[in-house]
Structure 1
Amino acid sequence: MNKPRIVVLAIAIGAGGIAAYLASGSSDDKPAPAQQVVQMQTVDILVAKSDIGLGHSLKPGDIDWQAWPATSASGNLISRASRAEAIREVTGSIARSPFIAGEPIRDQKLVKADGSGFMAAILPAGYRAISTEISPETGAGGFILPNDRVDVILTKREKNPDSKGPDSSNSEIILSNVRVLAIDQAPKEKEGSSSLVGKTVTLELKPEQAETLARSRQSGTLTLALRSIADINAPEKQDDTQVKRGENLNVIRYGVASQQMMQK
């Protein structure tokens, strides 16, 4: 046998021995232990199956139970364990605020109409709904939508005592950071629309604010100024900066209108 064949044979035998050794060593290794999977505890929470708009009356198909981590299920969520008949209980309730799909249903964002109209149902206790005329010029070009916050500005035009001089005008904020309930008779934004041009706006006001608005409508032009969404918790303008009492009051008695001065 010549030397090249002997060298090739020796290499083959050595490689076979190494492979056999490695194979025997791997068979002795113990398999890695499987990691234990920790099962997260969940509870069934009532959620919105799809988007629910402001003023929508809930139907059984709008809501459903969904598994929710037990550690993040706070007490203000509706759970199946505590209220098994919750779907039947909340059916017919009106959404005071919008819900997005998958959002937990909260009692604080629902109201039972109990035969009352929609607007009376969504009004918070102690507040009033009052409407006033607007136009694209006085309503921020139609970009004010229901649930936005606005300031109400009163502009008065005063005649110059000197008949040759021009008339003067002044403006002041009479109501600050009030919520828009509806534009015309639309309590919510139209689907896919970023503006809503209407002729009347309905505002959510306290009783004294409603009086201020009613008086101011007879005194000049009202303009709505749209506020940033970040101002939702900003303090309201103090009453001492609002229109003071003492203006003329229209009184209708037996069908005859007359004006009387209000005492300050």
Structure 2
Amino acid sequence: MRAASILIAALGVAIAGGSVVVAARMTQSGPVAAAKAAEAPANTALVLVAKTDIAFGAPVELENLTSMNWPKDSLPAGAFTTLEPVINPALGVRRAKHSISMGEIILPGKLSEFGEAVTVVHKLGPNARAVAIQVDAVTGVGGFVAPGDYVDVLMTQGDGSALQTMTILQNVSVVGVDQSANAEQQTTVARTITVEVSPQDSQKLALAQRAGSLSLTLRSLDDAQDEALQPVTMADILGSKPLAVAPPAEVVAPAPVRPTILVRRGNEEAVVSLDAARVSAPVAVTP
């Protein structure tokens, strides 16, 4: 009996100790910890920031957040100073509408509403359209295109010496690769690349996919300028003008065949055209 009592008492102490540890962790993770608030200078405010990187579409949870003292005069509008507007299990979870980096202040525009699903639509800017382009390992830059990159769209059309490639769109934002809008996805050979374009450019892409073959070029991070590019033809590749095709030879109609007669004058014979015979004087034929 005494041993059982001792075991129960030890178990109670362990449970109590575990509760204290959990409570301490919750207090340290909370953005309104009393100790931190007491240490905050008068000209700063305690705000919620990302404790870890939060990917697009990922739920924002307690372990993703921490608090930081931030100067009040440079505090972004809408920054959260309490936990309740972000974490509320009774209402569901809020998700990241854009990728959030570690140490970044949590802002309302970065989060969905409670329980709201996050799709690629949340990545589109005002009056923008999402258009999918069919690609393969070659036309899709070997699978190195990821959401968040910027690309140029090229169209190749024609045949033989008339084959040409032209740049139809420049500096286009990639919002999705296949079914993923996560910029942290592994490199993979995609079948479709979804880009963000204006309504007018969406029509250009739809027509270009029917008129020729599309391919992408990946832009560098510091290349934001659009350059006027001329179409490239086979002559540019070969370094000379394409061979001129000779026009078809003119077909000359054969001279018409005129009827003739055989004229005998004594021992002499001559072939005379009927037209000539009609205009010449009658010829006496010796029997």
TM-score normalised per structure 1? 0.61
* Partner Cα separation in structure 1 for residue 114 and residue 42 of structure 2: 39
1:75 to 1:140, Cα distance in 2 relative to 1, 3 A: same
* Partner Cα separation in structure 1 for residue 99 and residue 218 of structure 2: 20
Q: CA deviation at 1:52?
A: 0.7
CA contact (8 A) 1:156 1:171 kept: yes
Q: CA deviation at 1:62?
A: 2.4
* Partner Cα separation in structure 2 for residue 141 and residue 148 of structure 1: 14
* Partner Cα separation in structure 2 for residue 173 and residue 52 of structure 1: 35
- Superposition pairs of residues 156-175 of structure 1, within 5 angstroms: 156-158=157-159, 166-175=160-169
Secondary structure of 1:217's counterpart equals helix
* Partner Cα separation in structure 1 for residue 97 and residue 226 of structure 2: 22
Structure whose CA Rg is larger: 2
Secondary structure of 2:210's counterpart equals coil
Q: Answer yes or no: is 1:203 the counterpart of 2:186.
A: no
CA contact (8 A) 1:189 1:196 kept: no
Letter in 2 for 1:42: T
Structure 1 counterpart of 2:268: none
Secondary structure of 2:204's counterpart equals helix
Higher normalized strand content (fraction of residues): 1
1:116 to 1:50, Cα distance in 2 relative to 1, 3 A: closer
Letter in 1 for 2:174: V
* Structure 1: gaps (5+ residues): 1-38, 159-165, 243-264
* Partner Cα separation in structure 2 for residue 142 and residue 209 of structure 1: 24
- Superposition pairs of residues 118-129 of structure 1, within 5 angstroms: 118-129=119-130
Out of 67, 70, 92, which is 2:69 matched to? 67
Secondary structure of 1:154's counterpart equals strand
* Partner Cα separation in structure 2 for residue 190 and residue 156 of structure 1: 34
Q: CA deviation at 1:113?
A: 8.6
Out of 231, 246, 256, which is 2:223 matched to? 231
Count residues in correspondence.
190
Structure 1 counterpart of 2:206: 214
% identical aligned pairs: 28
Structure 2 counterpart of 1:11: none
1:236 to 1:86, Cα distance in 2 relative to 1, 3 A: farther
Letter in 1 for 2:169: L
* Partner Cα separation in structure 1 for residue 43 and residue 188 of structure 2: 46
Q: Answer yes or no: is 1:179 the counterpart of 2:173.
A: yes
CA contact (8 A) 1:64 1:87 kept: no
1:119 to 1:67, Cα distance in 2 relative to 1, 3 A: same
Deviation by residue 1:163-200 (Cα, 9 ceiling, x = unmatched): xxx44311111111111111111211445x4x332111
CA contact (8 A) 1:54 1:187 kept: yes
TM-score normalised per structure 2? 0.57
CA contact (8 A) 2:123 2:175 kept: no
Out of 37, 48, 51, which is 2:50 matched to? 48
* Partner Cα separation in structure 2 for residue 171 and residue 147 of structure 1: 26
Q: CA deviation at 1:86?
A: 3.1
Q: CA deviation at 1:216?
A: 0.4
* Partner Cα separation in structure 2 for residue 74 and residue 130 of structure 1: 37
Letter in 2 for 1:129: A
* Structure 2: gaps (5+ residues): 1-40, 232-287
